[in-house]
Amino acid sequence: MASYVLRDTTVLLKRSLRHVLRSPDTIITTAITPIAMLLLFVYVFGGAIDVGGGQYVDYLLPGILLITVASGVAYTAFRLFTDVSSGIFDRFQSMPIARSALLWGHVLTSVAANLISLALVVLVAVVMGFRSSAGVLSWLAVFGILLLFTLALTWLAVIPGLTAKSLDGVSAFSYPLIFLPFISSAFVPTSGMPGPVRWFAEHQPVTAIVNTLRSLYAEQPVGDDGWIAIAWCVGLLLAAHVLAMSTYRRKTS
């Protein structure tokens, strides 16, 4: 059974990847907005923002990476919505294909495309002066957290991809995800925020994830933020997966 699911998932993954390779502009578009924000905040606003020493590009990069992922998963919802609305989804359902393979093909494609976009953003940050003294283990930890975060948001994107009634509806879900890093420690320290805003910023998932990534590549102690970040990523991933599969079963029943 496992080999059957793996085989079908591999076939559908190759199909989705071919679509991405034929339209690489989706990856470029995903990276353009975060790169533009990186350039804007570093070269226009960075000189006026006090982050307690160090280069602002080093401070800013984790938040930009999360925005990159949030932008990328919007295309996952769009590709799934296209399959559902075009009828190809129903056609696959009539074939002897493992049901879970249909979703995993899109999810794994999203992970691959997002990793490429993240690499492009990091490359631009390096050109802008980003430097890290982190070792291999720290960078593996950074990769692991970003992978968990990407999987969590991708499974979340599956839900509007299956249920949206229009293209505008399927695209709108990503806006709050892109906006969330702005009310966190991603761009400025939370210490200067008004009371209620500061409380929200310090207790939402982005702040813990951003602080953890920043500490890891700076070879600084992670502290409690590391466990909180992992808990948020795993919790969101499990909740999104359960909701997505429940929605999928209702859609195909």
Q: What is the DSSP string of 81-149?
A: HHHHHHSHHHHHHTSS--HHHHHHHHHHHHHHHHHHHHHHHHHHHHHTT------HHHHHHHHHHHHHH
96-137 residue pLDDT tens: 666 667 788 888 888 888 998 999 999 999 999 998 888 899
Look at the chain and count its residues.
253
Higher model confidence: residue 113 or residue 88? 113
* φ/ψ (deg, to 5) at 18: -60, -40
Instruction: For residue 38, name the pLDDT band (cuts at 50, 70, 90).
Output: very high
Report the SS3 class of residue 6.
Answer: helix
18: buried, middle or exposed (CB in 10 Å: 19+, 13-18, 0-12)? exposed
- For residue 92, give both structure tokens: 């696959």
What is the chain's mean pLDDT, rounded? Answer: 85
Report the SS3 class of residue 165.
Answer: coil
- For residue 133, give both structure tokens: 């003294």
144-173 residue pLDDT tens: 999 999 999 999 998 888 888 877 777 777
For residue 99, the model assigns a pLDDT of: 66
169-203 residue pLDDT tens: 777 777 888 889 999 999 998 888 898 999 999 99
For residue 94, the model assigns a pLDDT of: 65
Task: Give residues with Cβ within 8 angstroms of 182, minimum separation 6.
Answer: none
The count of C-alpha atoms lying within 13 angstroms of the C-alpha of 177, restricted to the half-sphere facing its C-beta, is 22
Is the pLDDT at 14 greater than 80? The verdict is no
200-215 residue pLDDT tens: 999 999 999 999 999 9
Is the pLDDT at 25 greater than 70? The verdict is no
For residue 2, the model assigns a pLDDT of: 56
Higher model confidence: residue 47 or residue 135? 135
Is the pLDDT at 84 greater than 70? The verdict is yes
- For residue 14, give both structure tokens: 């190759």
How is the chain split into domains, by residue range?
Answer: 2-252
168: buried, middle or exposed (CB in 10 Å: 19+, 13-18, 0-12)? exposed
